[in-house]
Amino acid sequence: MEENKNTKLTELRRDLVTGDWVVIATGRAKRPEEFASQKRAVVEEDPNKPCFFCHPEETGQEKDVLIYKQEEDWSLRVFPNKYPAFARSRALRHIEEGPYFGMDGTGYHEIVVTKDHQKQIALLEPMEVAEIIDAYQERYIDLMGKKSINYIEVFHNHGKEAGASIAHPHSQLVAVPVISPYIKGELDGAELYWKSHKDCAYCAMIEWEGEQGKRMIFENNNFIAFCPYSSRAAFEVWVMPKKHKPYFERILDSEMLELAEALQFAINRIYKALGDPAYNFYIHTAPCDGKDYPHYHWHIEILPRTSIWAGFELSTGIEVSTIQPEAAAEYLKKQE
C-alpha cells in the first residue's frame, strides 16, 4: 500500500532524566490558537458566603504561621489547611498487614494565600510573585526541620480542572515522611546520567536549549523558561536556575526577583495564549531527608490542563501532547 505523503508521523520523545516516553501526536496536532477556544470549567462561588481566604479569621482558619504586611494590611499569609491531607502527630506509626506495609499520614499541610481575590499570578507584578516565592522558602526551611519530614512539595492549582476547589488564588505546601516515586525517578535518573556523563542532565538541557533557542521563551541572568523537549502536556513550561543548584530552599535573596520574573512571564504567556487555562505548577527539589544529592537540579514545572487522560494514557502511563513544544514555544513568545 502506498504511504499517504500528507500523513504526519507521530513522534515518541524520551525524557532525558526519567526515561519516560511521551507522544507528540503530530498526526492530530492542533493549531496553537485552537487551545484558547476550549471550554473552561469554573469554580463556583456562593455570593452569600464569605470567601475562606479573604477573611480567614471569620471562616475558622487556624492561626497564621506566617504573615506579610504592606503598610497596615496583610498582603500574604500562610496558615494550616483546615482539611489537611496530612496531619501533625507526635510519632510516625508503621502499619503491617500480611504482605502489605504502610504508615500514618503524618506531616504538615499549609496554605499560602495572597490578598487579592481576583488577581492570579499571571496578573501580578514580579515583585508580588517574589513575595510568594519568599514565603515558600521561609515555610520550607521551617518545615524541613520537623521530625519525620523527608520531602516537601510546593504546588499551585489554578482552575477547576487543575483541582482548585476555591477560586481565591493560593498555593500549598505539603510536608511528608516519604519521597514520591516521581521524585525518586528523577533522582535516580539524574544520578545515572551524572555517573555516565560526569555532568548534570539538567545542566545539559540548559546548555542545549540555550544554544538552539527554539524551545526557549525567557532568559535572564540566573533563570531560563522553556518548553521541554519531551513535554507531557501542550504548552508545558519549565523554569530552571542556570547554575547547578540541587536545593530550592538555598535560593539567594539576590536571585528571588529574577526567579519571580521568569515564573510570572511563563504563567502570563500561558494565560494570554490559552485564554486563562487551568494549570498546575510545582517545585521539584532535592529531598530534605539529610542525604546529599549533588547530581540533582531543582526546577519548576508548569502544566496547563489542555487534555484529559483516556485509555491509552491510563493503561501505559505515556502522556500524549497534540502540539510540538517547538510550536508551543514560538506561540508563547508571540504573546504580548
- Is the domain of 83 the same as that of 161? yes
Query: In the chain, how many domains are there?
Result: 2
Percentages of the chain per state (helix, strand, coil), in multiples of 5: 30, 25, 45
For position 78, what pLDDT does the model report? 97
For position 3, what pLDDT does the model report? 47
For position 48, what pLDDT does the model report? 78
- Is the domain of 326 the same as that of 191? yes
Out of 143, 158, 176, a domain closes at: 176
- Is the domain of 25 the same as that of 129? no
3-state class (DSSP) for residue 263: helix
CA 278 – CA 273 distance, rounded (Å): 12
The residue written with cell numbers 508548569 in the block is: 302
Cβ-based neighbour number of residue 84 at 10 Å? 17
What is the number of H-type helices and E-type strands within the chain? 6, 15
Tell the burial category of 130 from Cβ atoms under 10 Å away from its Cβ (0-12, 13-18, 19+): buried
Q: Which residues contact 299 (CB under 8 A, 6 or more apart)?
A: 202, 238, 239, 240, 241, 283, 284
- Is the domain of 294 the same as that of 322? yes
CA 195 – CA 185 distance, rounded (Å): 15
- Is the domain of 150 the same as that of 220? no
- Residue 255, in any domain of the structure: yes
Contacts of 47-53 with CB under 8 Å at 24 or more apart are: 51/117, 51/166, 51/167, 51/168, 52/82, 52/166, 52/168, 53/111, 53/113, 53/117, 53/166, 53/168, 53/170
- Residue 197, in any domain of the structure: yes
From 196, 202, 327, select the one nearest 273 (Cα to Cα).
Answer: 327
- Is the domain of 198 the same as that of 111? no
Q: In whole angstroms, how far apart are CA 281 and each of 4, 71, 90, 151, 195?
A: 40, 30, 31, 17, 29
Cell of 212: 538552539
- Residue 221, in any domain of the structure: yes
For residue 125, list its beta bridge partners: none
What range defines the domain where residue 78 resides? 66-176
The residue written with cell numbers 487579592 in the block is: 116
From 202, 113, 128, select the one nearest 164 (Cα to Cα).
Answer: 113
- Residue 151, in any domain of the structure: yes
- Is the domain of 144 the same as that of 286? no
- Residue 103, in any domain of the structure: yes
* Spans in the chain with pLDDT lower than 50: 1-6
Q: What angle do CA 180, 142, 159 make, to 5 degrees?
A: 55
- Is the domain of 328 the same as that of 255? yes
Report the CATH number at residue 122: 3.30.428.10
- Residue 90, in any domain of the structure: yes
- Residue 58, in any domain of the structure: no
For position 1, what pLDDT does the model report? 40
Q: Which residues contact 83 (CB under 8 A, 6 or more apart)?
A: none
Q: What is the pTM of this model?
A: 0.93
- Residue 53, in any domain of the structure: no
Out of 127, 149, 176, a domain closes at: 176
- Is the domain of 171 the same as that of 307? no
Q: pLDDT tens digits for 274-295?
A: 999 999 999 999 999 999 999 9
The residue written with cell numbers 507526635 in the block is: 90
- Is the domain of 214 the same as that of 70? no
Cβ-based neighbour number of residue 120 at 10 Å? 19
- Is the domain of 226 the same as that of 150? no
Out of 124, 152, 176, a domain closes at: 176
The residue written with cell numbers 481565591 in the block is: 168
- Is the domain of 244 the same as that of 149? no
